[in-house]
Structure 1
Amino acid sequence: MAGDKQQQHTLHFVVFPWLAFGHLIPFLELSKRLAARGHAVTFVSTPRNIARLPALAEGLSDRVRMVALPLPAVDGLPEGAESTADVPPEKVELLKAGFDGLAAPLADFLAAACAGDPEEEEEGVFGTRPDWIVLDFAHYWLCPIAEKHQIPCAMFFIYPASWVAYGGAHEENVKHPCVTIEDFMAEMLNASGVADSERYSRTVDHCRLLVPRVFPILAELFRKPVVPAGLLLPAAGDRHHGGDHGDTTTRWLDEQPPGSVLYVALGSEAPVTVENVCELAAGLELSGARFLWALRPPSMLPEGFEERTSRRGLVWTGWVPQMRVLGHVAMGAFLTHCGWGSVAESLRFGHPLVMLPFITDQGLIARMMTERGVGVEVARRDDDGWFGRDDVAVAVRRVMVEEDGKVFALNARRLVSHGIARYAALLLCAIATVTRDLGPRDVAATHHDVVSSTPRPSHPTSRHAIPNRHAFAIPDCHAFAIPGCHAFVIHHAVTDSRSRRRMAAEEGVVIACHTKEEFYAKMGKAKETKKLVVIDFTASWCGPSRSIAPVFVEFAKKYPHVVFLKVDIDELREYEIEGVPTFHFVKGGEKIDIVVGANKDELQTKVEKHAGQPA
């Protein structure tokens, strides 16, 4: 029976990321979390990318299957190139053209999966039609295919929410068009024939499930409710102490003093010029710091640089296992382009940052990290963004040599220690919300043991109300230390106002207040009768709020002499609520107590304390 019950809750997810390892890894981590919850995941990519992914744990390998779709040939795209790591930045647009050629084979795969191919019956849940498709920013062609088979789509952003909000909704950009040359730069076409902004907006328009992170403002911009889901990072494990002598970078790090090395990596898509590399190299040389530099291609280096710095530096042009490098005890800081995946991986180990952003969300991430005191940004000229060797040397020495570096490192460690566990709870609650399998036992195991409330995010009324878009940097999770977490946005789980009013009747004596007038009327009546009022401040995007709702209904029936009200914080926004769910206890018009989080026992204790046992 238990096995049958589990099977009833098993869902089949198709997960399909963009062809960059900064996307592939978080999508794989999401797949592993879904599989750990008992669901089945079909992970789709190209053959070479799948071969380069980390191996799955033994307990998950039967829940995650890999489906390899060969990348079509494109004129000008190097043979064997299947990810952004395989091509220089100027050829990424050709990779996008090849990626668009996967539409037809993906359509064939979905058609076969939905037809219930008899040959796949032996594959168990993998022989069933998909319940969800989780896709990336570039799949503007996938949602119409999914709609033909009535499969809902989830758009999963690996970018910080502040960047998603900065870009805004397509229709809002139409209403407020770009007017300067700089405004139009993100709209430029490339060799694939589709601008990245167009891919992004067309995918968002189709998705029933969206995954950004500044929850209310994005729900308002895209008209899709948002559920936070935490950070998706590979398991950190213990800091690596060496011993793997098959890895040149590890062997070199083994020979360096603890905390002495600066890791330098600028990602695979940053438009780094020869001049940028020369100035960065000269700055590293001037700084005197030890460094490990992941660089492609080496021909960009100034003549003689490697020889002059060979005693304290290593330039590596092959594949670098970034998590292993960052976890090595010799590592002291990270010079990064501020891609969110790289920043999050660095923070996992508490490393301070030297920040050199180039494109897209990287400038906003650098701004947020600077404001949180975890590093410094390399100074650039205001007019053209140029940086020089002296700017690099000053930033590196400040983090690696001067006393400020100790403060940055301490702040980075505090940032990660305060946030990672809470994000883990958010992820579990979000998955439970999406899959609708969160029961009372799950609440005890996955939520109360880690964190008991979901933070209420900041809520600017509109991006167009912000006077200086360049300085726009909303904290991604208002009550959490680490800025930036993944999230699910549920379309089908949220109803219109009329449906919510019908739900109020089904909830017994729990009264849902949708307007200020309704709320004040109920509070006034309770004050006259001197009854205790318990107010559940909730949110449709919050898994813990949804999990405690049946308990709140149960209490309302058990304590009929108490007034139980429910208020959605996204409907009545004037109340200053720091986290949801939050329960206020009011008597005689005065707040007398509060419970923060989905804690059934504490809630019941305080109801009985202030209202007594039912007659």
Structure 2
Amino acid sequence: MAKLQQRVHVLAVPFPAAGHMLPLLDLAHLLSARYGFAVTIAVTPKNLPHLSPLLSRCPGVAPLVLPFPDNTNFPPGVENAHDVPLCDIRLLMRELSGLHDPLLRWARSCADRPNAVLSDFFCGWTNGLATELGIPCLVFSPSGALCLALVHSLWRRMPKTSDPDDPDELVPFRSLPRSPFYPWGHLSTIYRRYVEGDPLSEFIKASYLANIGSWGFVVNTFAEFEKPYLEHLRDDLGHARVWGVGPLAPPMGAGERGGPSLVGAEEVAAWLGNCAEGSVVYVAFGSLAVLSPAQSAALAAGLEQSGARFVWATRGVVPLPEGFEKRVAGRGLVIQGWAPQVAILNHPAVGSFVTHCGWNSVLEAVAAGVALLTWPMGADQFWNARLVEEEVGTGVKACEGRDAVPDPDELARVVAESVGEAGRARREKARELARRAAAAVEVGGSSYMDLAAVVEELSEVAAASK
């Protein structure tokens, strides 16, 4: 790579939800620590604490704290998707666009003007900001390349359903690799809520279409995992500026991120240390999903009947059946708070993972070499589940749907098989994929080289602007 002639300055605009913000911060760290970029991250006051671990380790990354835009849609102080987990996420997408004018004023008055905008794909309005500043907009996808390809297809084609009450009606995506069909109910809720002429709907549509016309895309994935979809995106967009740079991970020594855990990492490690290799099932559903009492009871019964060892991270919001913990004592560990998920997944004792298939959880499992028992509930999770089940071969369905209640007997069978002889081939395939993930981010690997290509192109842009 050519020597940088000057320091590149990037304005990063994350979307305020943990699953979006944290991987973008990991990318900002790489750009600054490895390549010497200056990165300014636009953040509102209540989201500033999320940056603290990064800011303490990377002097090249600086926050730009801006007041959250005035709005009437949220209670005072709400600035993050996790503050109102049941809100219409589209409202937060729209309200955040109120940062456009403050960012424009800051950039125009800044002595070291940014050379590029790096924004989450929920912030399509930043493409207009970049245009006004005369700089490229690089869209960051915290989801995978398959998700991005499907989203682009949806907003370009605008497929409709003949019966909105039929979630099983199949929608074709013939331009994508393998020409898949997806049930209407598995499509993005953001898309399914679109109503022609509705101001909020039209804002969302314009945002996604603006993304499609952006200068380039950086995706939290790697070629050995999603090569057909990365290639499809390049062909579909008509340029090569689509880069897979994952799996993105926190800087070394940064530790786990999230809320406080009522069970410490050392205690979990000690418990897992008494278990045989690949014998433990880890159960967790991300930062937003909350199981109903019926779902929790069925899951508890399935785990109990399976006979398998397990660690269940409930985040303290899942109601457990009376006496459950006592009955499974010694065989099951329940964490009533935030769990050290990455450490758990990377422990040799863990062989499978019951997950909602959020992309960050999928990538963490991939990097750890752990097989997946899928229970997708919304967003891109159905697509991610299908990817690991049908194309990659490291996952098997445990349940499906936000309101679905699994059959305890069937769940017990799937759980037991996942850590038994019947699941051996899947676990071996998962370990092989983990080796490829590790190689991708090492020097000379596909993700390492793609990030170097991003740096090279942005450096040329910066040089041309002087």
TM-score by length of 2: 0.75
1:325: how far off?
A: 2.9
C-alpha change, 1:147 and 1:338, in structure 2 (3 Å) is: same
Deviates most, 69-78 or 317-326: 69-78
What letter matches 1:31 in structure 2? Answer: A
Choose from 101, 105, 122 the match for 1:107.
101
C-alpha change, 1:277 and 1:226, in structure 2 (3 Å) is: farther
1:233: how far off?
A: 2.4
Query: What is the CA–CA distance in structure 2 between the aligned matches of 1:407 and 1:138, rounded to whole Å?
Result: 37
What letter matches 1:52 in structure 2? Answer: H
Choose from 353, 376, 380 the match for 2:396.
376
- Is the 2:352–2:418 Cα contact (8 Å) retained in structure 1? yes
Q: Residue in 1 aligned with 2:376? A: 357
1:166: how far off?
A: 2.7
What letter matches 2:439 in structure 1? Answer: A
> Is residue 2:262 matched to residue 1:255?
no
Choose from 146, 149, 163 the match for 1:162.
146
> Is residue 2:148 matched to residue 1:133?
no
1:129: how far off?
A: 0.9
Choose from 432, 445, 453 the match for 1:414.
432
Choose from 16, 37, 62 the match for 1:65.
62
C-alpha change, 1:99 and 1:296, in structure 2 (3 Å) is: farther
C-alpha change, 1:269 and 1:137, in structure 2 (3 Å) is: farther
C-alpha change, 1:76 and 1:272, in structure 2 (3 Å) is: farther
Query: What is the CA–CA distance in structure 2 between the aligned matches of 1:307 and 1:195, rounded to whole Å?
Result: 53
Q: Residue in 2 aligned with 1:215? A: 230
Q: CA RMSD in A?
A: 3.8
Query: What is the CA–CA distance in structure 2 between the aligned matches of 1:283 and 1:196, rounded to whole Å?
Result: 44
Counting aligned pairs with the same residue, the percent is: 29
Larger radius of gyration: 1
Q: Residue in 2 aligned with 1:432? A: 452
C-alpha change, 1:57 and 1:71, in structure 2 (3 Å) is: closer
1:235: how far off?
A: 5.5
What letter matches 1:28 in structure 2? Answer: L
1:310: how far off?
A: 4.2
- Is the 1:113–1:130 Cα contact (8 Å) retained in structure 2? yes
1:350: how far off?
A: 1.4
Choose from 319, 335, 338 the match for 1:316.
335
| Matched position secondary structure for 1:56 | helix
| Matched position secondary structure for 1:169 | helix
| Matched position secondary structure for 1:298 | coil
| Matched position secondary structure for 2:53 | coil
What letter matches 1:12 in structure 2? Answer: H
Write out per-residue CA displacement over residues 354-392 of structure 1, whole angstroms, 9 at most, x where no aligned residue. 2212223322322332343324221569xx965322222
- The unaligned stretches of length 5 or more in structure 2 are 168-183, 220-225
Q: Residue in 2 aligned with 1:229? A: 244
1:396: how far off?
A: 0.9
1:148: how far off?
A: 1.9
> Is residue 2:26 matched to residue 1:29?
yes
Q: Residue in 2 aligned with 1:147? A: 131
Query: What is the CA–CA distance in structure 2 between the aligned matches of 1:199 and 1:318, rounded to whole Å?
Result: 39
1:345: how far off?
A: 0.9
C-alpha change, 1:144 and 1:246, in structure 2 (3 Å) is: closer
Q: List, as ranges, runs of 4+ consecutive aligned residues in structure 1 with deviation greater than 6 Å.
A: 73-76
Residues 463-482 of structure 1: pairs in structure 2 closer than 5 A: none
Query: What is the CA–CA distance in structure 2 between the aligned matches of 1:196 and 1:49, rounded to whole Å?
Result: 24
> Is residue 2:16 matched to residue 1:9?
no
What letter matches 1:427 in structure 2? Answer: S
1:113: how far off?
A: 2.5
- Is the 2:313–2:334 Cα contact (8 Å) retained in structure 1? yes
Q: Residue in 1 aligned with 2:222? A: none
- Is the 2:247–2:437 Cα contact (8 Å) retained in structure 1? no
Q: Residue in 2 aligned with 1:288? A: 307
Deviates most, 31-40 or 331-340: 331-340
Query: What is the CA–CA distance in structure 2 between the aligned matches of 1:167 and 1:217, rounded to whole Å?
Result: 13
Where relative contact order (Cα < 8 A, 6+ residues apart) is larger, the structure is 2
| Matched position secondary structure for 2:142 | coil
What letter matches 1:420 in structure 2? Answer: A
Query: What is the CA–CA distance in structure 2 between the aligned matches of 1:192 and 1:21, rounded to whole Å?
Result: 27
Q: Residue in 2 aligned with 1:45? A: 43
> Is residue 2:295 matched to residue 1:276?
yes
How many pairs are equivalent? Answer: 415
| Matched position secondary structure for 1:155 | strand
TM-score by length of 1: 0.59
- Is the 1:19–1:84 Cα contact (8 Å) retained in structure 2? yes
C-alpha change, 1:389 and 1:82, in structure 2 (3 Å) is: farther
Q: Residue in 2 aligned with 1:201? A: 208
Query: What is the CA–CA distance in structure 2 between the aligned matches of 1:199 and 1:280, rounded to whole Å?
Result: 41
Query: What is the CA–CA distance in structure 1 between the aligned matches of 2:202 and 2:218, rounded to whole Å?
Result: 21
- Is the 1:233–1:345 Cα contact (8 Å) retained in structure 2? no
Write out per-residue CA displacement over residues 424-459 of structure 1, whole angstroms, 9 at most, x where no aligned residue. 4333433333333699xxxxxxxxxxxxxxxxxxxx
Choose from 351, 358, 367 the match for 1:339.
358
- Is the 1:111–1:149 Cα contact (8 Å) retained in structure 2? no
Deviates most, 9-18 or 295-304: 295-304
| Matched position secondary structure for 1:102 | helix
- Is the 2:262–2:336 Cα contact (8 Å) retained in structure 1? no
1:173: how far off?
A: 0.9
What letter matches 2:435 in structure 1? Answer: S
| Matched position secondary structure for 1:255 | helix
Query: What is the CA–CA distance in structure 1 between the aligned matches of 2:77 and 2:270, rounded to whole Å?
Result: 33
Query: What is the CA–CA distance in structure 2 between the aligned matches of 1:129 and 1:376, rounded to whole Å?
Result: 49
What letter matches 1:429 in structure 2? Answer: M
- Is the 2:296–2:320 Cα contact (8 Å) retained in structure 1? yes
Q: Residue in 2 aligned with 1:470? A: none
Query: What is the CA–CA distance in structure 2 between the aligned matches of 1:389 and 1:270, rounded to whole Å?
Result: 20
Write out per-residue CA displacement over residues 64-110 of structure 1, whole angstroms, 9 at most, x where no aligned residue. 1123334457668577654444444x23x2x6534533333453133
Query: What is the CA–CA distance in structure 1 between the aligned matches of 2:64 and 2:103, rounded to whole Å?
Result: 9
